[in-house]
Amino acid sequence: MKFSLVLLVLGWRLRWLASRNPGFQKQLENRNVVMQWRTFAGKPARSFHFMPGKVVSKRGIHGEPTVTLNFKNASYAFATLQQAGKNQMAFMEGMQAGDIKIEGDPGQLMWFMTLMKFIMPGGKK
């Protein structure tokens, strides 16, 4: 439940930034990326479609994501996201352990990581 809520709030934040933050809007120029976050079991799942000027967030499995971030389960995903705020290596450690798997274009995940400065409240204006 907590992971689903985090994904929902992330979607709201991304849409808000896409409509109000010039720096974030600049990052969306020439983008057409579908990033999906899910558990190995497939639930919960949410996709974020980044395109010039907007971000569309939908629950469930996307048919053709550009990149998918798979977590072993929802509680692990929530704990990892909490830890990632303090330890940027949390994702890398999860991938090395096999608890997080990336499918698709990993370069798009790296691009998403550059957006973190905007996503955190009080981030870049």
Q: What percent of the chain has pLDDT over 70?
A: 95
Q: What is the dihedral of CA 65, 118, 39, 52, to 10 degrees?
A: -20
- Peptide bond between residue 44 and the one before it cis (omega within 30 degrees of 0): yes
Backbone angles phi, psi at 106, to 5 degrees: -65, -20
Dihedral of CA 89/94/97/103: which sign? negative
Q: Within its chain, how far is the Cα of 59 from the centroid?
A: 13
d(CA 92, CA 97): 9
Q: Which pTM does this prediction carry?
A: 0.89
Residue 125 has pLDDT above 80, yes or no: no
Neighbours of 3 (CB within 10 A): 24
Residue 7 has pLDDT above 60, yes or no: yes
Q: What's the whole-number mean pLDDT along residues 8-19?
A: 95
Contact 94, 100 (CB under 8 A): yes
